[in-house]
Amino acid sequence: MTPLAEILAKQIKTTGPITLAEYMSVCLLHPKYGYYTTQDPLGLDGDFTTAPEISQMFGELIGLCLAQCWMDQGSPDQFALVELGPGRGTLIADVMRATQHVPGFHIAADLHLVEASSRMRDLQAKALPEHRPTWHDSAETLPHDRPVFVIANEFFDALPIRQFQRDPKGWREVMVGVSEDGGLQRGLSDPAPIDALKARLEDTEPGALVETCAHGTAVVDALARRIAEQGGMALIVDYGGWHSDGDTFQAVRGHRPVDPFAEPGRADLTAHVDFEALARSALLAGCAVSQFTKQGVFLERLGITARAQSLAKGLGNEALEAHITAHRRLTHPDEMGSLFKVLGLYPGTESPPPGLDP
Ligand code: SAH
């Protein structure tokens, strides 16, 4: 048993089963034994990899997209450049490098990073030696007095979800309990009506499973209010669909799927992002929302192929091979190109960010 499994089993025996959301939060962010608190999960030697770790092209194109939106909104002379969940800081470092020659952009920008793990904050500080970011525990404390230009790549999939299984008498919530042998196990609560899931009664049958992510919609609400009132925009890039449909809770360790309840704190836990729920939250907060767009399409529209060709010129055999593979991984429909989607949030008075349709 991992130390975290012992802590959770003891808690559950004392106060009863916990929701999947509580389980996920503790596993990922427990101050001593949480997954993001104890290790650097990214890259080839880690448990999973992300688009900016695969190629510098991803962060460069995101940077140019952010800078173009900033210019389209009249180049405001003070704005917050924000990343949610910056991991190793690779993406934001690529954004800064790609935008260094955009006149006035760096002078107007102050950098804000929303990051829960102090270990990840140290890595981010190292990746940004020339910049002085302000770190935040949550999006709630982002500035209220200037436009916010935001990027979030693979952030929302790490936020805690709850799962509900439809039952003839209402919804049963997936809970984490303790089995007879003392290990952690999945269980179901008694059925109850859930007001927030009323609309899902129309498109689900008994037995169907839906996921909700209150943390995700709250983060979008905080961003969208600022974008609507102060200007700016947000790019949300992640794997997921338009609608939560079925069980997408997963654990990954060493680039392989593992049992999410077997070694709490040692595996990455994620769920697919329900983009419809995020879009609804943004619209309610008064923000416009772009078309839901595949990552491959978005990157092609931003010019990834031209950038790939220009970078390829300086590369020898092996590096060229790796570069071609990276381009394919980011864009091809069989790789990240279709599974990953992009949603843009922007003020209703503006056009959507480059690469996205209204
Ligand atoms: N965006 C990066 C890393 C994605 S990994 C990339 O593309 O490479 C997820 C990141 O979100 C990590 O930095 C993790 O520590 C952070 N994170 C996870 N849950 C969080 C939460 N609830 N609040 C703030 N940061 C969180």
Is pLDDT above 90 for 47? no
Asked if residues 285 and 228 have their Cβ atoms less than 8 Å apart, the reply is: yes
Average pLDDT over residues 243-272: 94
Strand partners, 113: 83, 135
Mean pLDDT of 284-306: 98
Report the C-alpha gap between 90 and 3 in whole angstroms: 31
* Mean pLDDT along residues 280-305: 98
Closest ligand 1 atom to residue 36 Cα is 15
CB of 36 closer than 6 angstroms to any ligand 1 atom: yes
Q: Is 157 in the pocket of ligand 1 (CB under 6 A)?
A: no
Rounded Cα–Cα distance for residues 149 and 111 (Å): 10
Give the mutation target among 38, 53, 90, 117 for probing the ligand 1 site: most ligand atoms within 8 A of CB.
117
Mean pLDDT, rounded, for 294-301: 98
Task: Identify the pLDDT of residue 1.
Answer: 86
Residue to probe by mutation, ligand 1, list 115, 128, 219, most atoms within 8 Å of CB: 115
Per-residue pLDDT at 232: 98
Burial status of residue 351 (CB atoms within 10 A of its CB: 0-12, 13-18, 19 or more): middle
Using CA atoms, how far residue 331 sits from 55, 300, 327, in Å, is 11, 8, 6
DSSP 272-286: -EEHHHHHHHHHHTT
Residue 150 beta carbon below 6 angstroms from any ligand 1 atom: no
> What is the pLDDT averaged over residues 261-276?
96
Confidence of residue 206 (pLDDT cuts 50, 70, 90): very high
Task: Compute the distance from residue 84 Cα to the ligand 1 centre, in Å.
Answer: 7
> Does the C-beta of 153 come closer than 6 Å to ligand 1?
yes
Domains located in the chain, CATH noted: 3-35+161-211 (no CATH), 38-159+213-241+272-346 (3.40.50.150)
Q: How confident is the model at residue 212 (pLDDT cuts 50, 70, 90)?
A: very high
Average pLDDT, the chain: 96
- For the Cβ of 216 lying below 6 angstroms from any atom of ligand 1, the answer is no
pLDDT digits (tens, 9 = 90+) for 218-247: 999 999 999 999 999 999 999 999 988 899
Q: What is the mean pLDDT of residues 132-156?
A: 98
What SS3 state is found at 133?
coil
pLDDT of residue 46: 82
Q: Is 261 in the pocket of ligand 1 (CB under 6 A)?
A: no
Residue 245: what pLDDT?
85
CA atoms within 13 A on the CB side of 227: 36
% the chain with pLDDT above 70: 99
Distance CA 273, CA 342 (A): 11
Q: 192 C-alpha vs ligand 1 centroid, how far in Å?
A: 33
Q: Whose CA is nearest to atom 18 of ligand 1?
A: 158
Instruction: Kindly tell me if the per-residue pLDDT of 45 is higher than 80.
Output: no
Q: What's the rounded Cα separation, in Å, for the pair 306 and 82?
A: 27
Q: d(Cα 358, Cα 341) in Å, to the nearest integer?
A: 15
Q: Which of 23, 25, 28, 36 has the most ligand 1 atoms within 8 A of CB, as the residue to mutate?
A: 36
Q: What is the pLDDT at residue 169?
A: 87
Q: By the 8 A CB rule, do 37 and 31 touch?
A: yes
pLDDT tier at 304 (50, 70, 90 boundaries)?
Answer: very high
The helix (H) or strand (E) run that includes residue 156 is none
Residue 170, helix vs strand vs coil: strand
Q: Exposure of 258 by Cβ count < 10 A (0-12 exposed, 13-18 middle, 19+ buried)?
A: middle
| pLDDT tens digit sequence for 65-97 | 999 999 999 999 999 999 999 999 999 999 999
Decide whether any atom of ligand 1 lies within 6 Å of the 87 Cβ: yes
- How high is the pLDDT of residue 55? 97
> CA-CA distances (angstroms) from residue 279 to 13, 160, 285, 296, 300?
39, 18, 10, 20, 23
Would you say 211 and 274 are in contact if contact means Cβ atoms under 8 Å apart?
yes
Over range 148-157, report the average pLDDT: 98
Residue written as token pair 């008994």: 206
Q: Which helix (H) or strand (E) holds 270?
A: strand 268-270
pLDDT band at residue 24 under the 50/70/90 scheme: very high
In 3D space, the residue among 227, 64, 289, 89 whose CA is nearest the CA of residue 111 turns out to be: 89
For the Cβ of 154 lying below 6 angstroms from any atom of ligand 1, the answer is: yes
Token readout for 279 is: 């879009």
Task: Tell the burial category of 85 from Cβ atoms under 10 Å away from its Cβ (0-12, 13-18, 19+).
Answer: buried
Q: Whose CA is nearest to atom 13 of ligand 1?
A: 87
- Looking at the predicted structure, is the pLDDT value of residue 43 above 80? no
Q: Span 329-336, mean pLDDT?
A: 97
pLDDT band at 32 (very low <50, low <70, confident <90, very high): very high
